[in-house]
Amino acid sequence: MNRKVVIVFILTLIALGFLTFYSFGPSSITRIGPQINPESLKPAKAEATNQNNESVEVYHNKDIAENFYVVSIPQSWQIQSTTSHPGGYDFVYNRGTSKTELMDVPDNSTLELFVLSQEEPRLKSLLPDYKRIDYQKKKVNGYDAYQLSILSDENGIRNESIKTYIMGPDRAAVITYSLPQEMVASLQNTFNLVTSSFHWENN
C-alpha cells in the first residue's frame, strides 16, 4: 500500500477519534452544561405547612451537583416555568412574581463584593428609575446572606424587588420577589417564611 495513503488513513482515524471524543466524551457535558432535572419540577408529595399553618409545596431542586436545595412556597403560588437556566424556578401569585435561581460568583470575589460591585450596577442599568431602599447582611438557616431591596418603574407602576443572595457550597442562591410597592407589607411575612425555608441539601 502506498505510504501516503497509509499516513492519510492513520490521520483520518486519529481525527475521527478526536471528533468522537469531543462530541460524546466528558468534554461534551461541559459544553452542553447542566440540564433541568425533571424531578426538580415535582413538588414533594407529603403535605406540609409553614409557621402560619398555610399549606405549602416543597420543591427539591436537583439540577446542578453541589447545589441541590430545598424551598417551600405557598400552595396558592403557581410554578409558571423554570427559568431559562437550570437550578431555578419562576413562581407567580396575585400581581407579583418570585424567582429562585443559582448565581456563579467568581473565585476572586466574595458574594458581598460581587453583589455590590457587579449585581447592583447591572440592575441599575436594566431597571428604569432604579432606587435602592435597603441593604442588609443577614443569615438564612445559618448561611451568610445579603438582602437588597430596590424600587423601579414598570409601565407606570412603582415596583419593589427584594433580592436575597445566599452563600452556597459552589454557587450562590438568589431569591427574588417583585410586586407593586403597596402590596409588599401585606406579603412580607410570607416572603420571610419562603426565604427561611431555603436550605442546601448537600451541606
For residue 146 the three cell numbers come to 445579603
User: Hey, what amino acid is at 132?
Assistant: R
Report the pLDDT value the prediction gives residue 159, as an integer from 0 to 100.
96
3-state secondary structure at position 61: strand
CA angle centred on 192, ends 69 and 174, rounded to 5°: 45
What are the backbone angles phi and psi of residue 156, rounded to the nearest 5°? 80, 0
pLDDT for the residue numbered 1? 57
Residue 29: its H or E element: helix 26-32
Model pLDDT, residue 17: 65
Is residue 177 within 8 A of residue 96, CB to CB? The reply is yes
Q: Which residues pair with 150 in a beta bridge?
A: 132, 161
Instruction: Answer for the pair 71, 78: CB distance below 8 angstroms, yes or no.
Output: no
Q: Give the pLDDT confidence score for residue 29 in this predicted structure.
A: 41
Domain ranges of the chain: 1-32, 36-200
- Residue 45 is predicted with a pLDDT of 74
Question: Residue 88, Cβ neighbours under 10 Å: how many?
Answer: 22
Query: What's the CATH number of domain 36-200, 3.30.160.100, 3.40.50.261, 3.40.50.720, 3.40.1000.10?
Result: 3.40.1000.10
Residue-level pLDDT at 121: 97
Q: What is the pLDDT of residue 59?
A: 94
Rounded to whole angstroms, the Cα distance separating 150 from 163 reads 8
Provide the pLDDT for residue 63. 93
Query: According to DSSP H, which parts of 101-183 are helical?
Result: 111-114, 120-126
Residue 117 has a pLDDT of 96
Low pLDDT (below 50) residues in the chain? 26-31
